[in-house]
A = this chain, B = another copy of it.
Amino acid sequence: MLIVMSAEATAEQVEAVCAHITRLGFEPRPIPGGQRTAIGIVGNPGALEPGPFVELPGVLRAIPVSSPFKLVSREWQAADTVVRLPNGVAIGGGNVAVIGGPCSVETEAQVMAAAEAVARAGGGALRGGAWKPRTSPYAFQGNGEAALKLLRQAGEAFGLSTVTEAIDHESALQVAQYADVIQIGARNMQNFALLRLVAGLGRPVVLKRGMAATIDEWLLAGEYLLAGGCRDVILCERGIRSFDPRTRNVLDLAAIAVARALTHLPIIADPSHGTGVRDMVIPMGRAAIAAGADGLIVEVHPRPQEALSDAHQQLRPGQFVELMTAVRTIAGAIGRTVQAAG
């Protein structure tokens, strides 16, 4: 923490701030300048909250210097975390994997066809929603446990590990029972009770970035998972809110590069929710891999026009093949390997 005193602060005020720092058990380091004095704080074990310092008379600002992260940080663990799915597919540390599947698990035929398409094209895992967090209470909310059973059946049939979203305590326990990876959606990124619960369920977790979450908030949500005992956390960029009505979200690919420097956790991108439009999923999926993402999570549906949700952003099987081909070339060009199931 660096305390910046106002230009009019008196010597007594500077001394009082130093005394306060000493009382807290830390060491003040005053830096008198031409216009104003600044006071460094050393000896603090972690990040301090600026609030109480700004309270003190004569203080203009308190600038945090220490990083707020611990277990998620590169300083804690320099080497990339590699998450291994039960089917052997690795994500992170140079390994790229693509998770594909329908927005919602609707019928046995639908999820089996989607799984077959994903496996044949070289996908690494199967996604499919059982509980859908919907903006309106009157929209389709997912098929629940029945969907989980179908998802597991389809994953087993095609050698794909399964990923699905938990939205609350009850669904989390069921997801952990049937699926291989638990997804936390953007709306629940700061549902800390859910994060704490999921951290203890013994499953890898895909943690989506909230729609207006800063990179720091996203990593701190990951910190909740690691602090709760979960080692296998996969961060997922899925688009942030912006001002342009033409795009549902802005897929913030630069955040992947920024986060990669700060954390050892693998980072994937969701170009389906990140764009909301089928025609943009392939270019933005390619772009995410080129930006250095460790994988993608993409919606694939055998017949999108019949989908119960997100109809216009799900890829057709042939489009998923096209995407996978580009992903393999681009990943190869930057020294990475795409991991396919089976």
Q: Using CB atoms and an 8 Å cutoff, list the residues of chain A in contact with chain B.
A: 2, 4, 7, 29, 31-36, 38, 40, 42-47, 49-52, 54-56, 63, 65-66, 68, 70, 75, 133-139, 167-171, 187-188, 190-194, 210-212, 214-217, 220, 223-224, 227-228, 240-247, 250-258, 261, 274-275, 277, 279-280, 283-284, 286-292, 304-307, 309-313, 326, 329-330, 333-334
Complex Cα–Cα for A309 and B43 (A): 22
Contact B137 A51 (CB under 8 A): no
Contact B214 A246 (CB under 8 A): yes
Inside 8 A of A138's CB, which chain B residues have their CB?
46, 70, 223, 227
Contact A31 B35 (CB under 8 A): no
Complex Cα–Cα for A190 and B188 (A): 8
Complex Cα–Cα for A193 and B279 (A): 33
Q: Which residue of the partner chain B has the closest CB to A244?
A: B214
Contact B257 A280 (CB under 8 A): yes
Contact A133 B215 (CB under 8 A): no
* Closest CB in chain B relative to A18 CB, distance in Å: 13
Contact B253 A242 (CB under 8 A): no
26 A-B pairs with C-beta separation under 8 A: A32-B42, A34-B44, A47-B136, A51-B310, A52-B311, A136-B220, A169-B193, A212-B212, A212-B241, A214-B244, A214-B245, A215-B246, A241-B241, A245-B245, A247-B255, A250-B250, A250-B252, A253-B283, A254-B284, A258-B280, A284-B291, A287-B290, A287-B291, A290-B290, A330-B333, A333-B333
Complex Cα–Cα for A224 and B139 (A): 11
Contact B188 A214 (CB under 8 A): no
Contact A51 B312 (CB under 8 A): yes
20 extra interface residue pairs, beta carbon distance < 8 Å, beyond A168-B193, A286-B330: A33-B42, A34-B42, A52-B305, A54-B312, A55-B305, A56-B305, A138-B223, A168-B169, A187-B191, A212-B212, A214-B243, A215-B247, A245-B245, A250-B250, A250-B252, A258-B280, A287-B290, A289-B290, A290-B290, A333-B333
Inside 8 A of A29's CB, which chain B residues have their CB?
31
Q: Which residue of the partner chain B has the closest CB to A6?
A: B75
Inside 8 A of A257's CB, which chain B residues have their CB?
275, 279-280, 283-284
Inside 8 A of A306's CB, which chain B residues have their CB?
52
Complex Cα–Cα for A138 and B45 (A): 12
* Closest CB in chain B relative to A144 CB, distance in Å: 13
Inside 8 A of A38's CB, which chain B residues have their CB?
2, 40, 65
Cβ contact of A283, chosen from B63, B192, B291, cutoff 8 A? B291
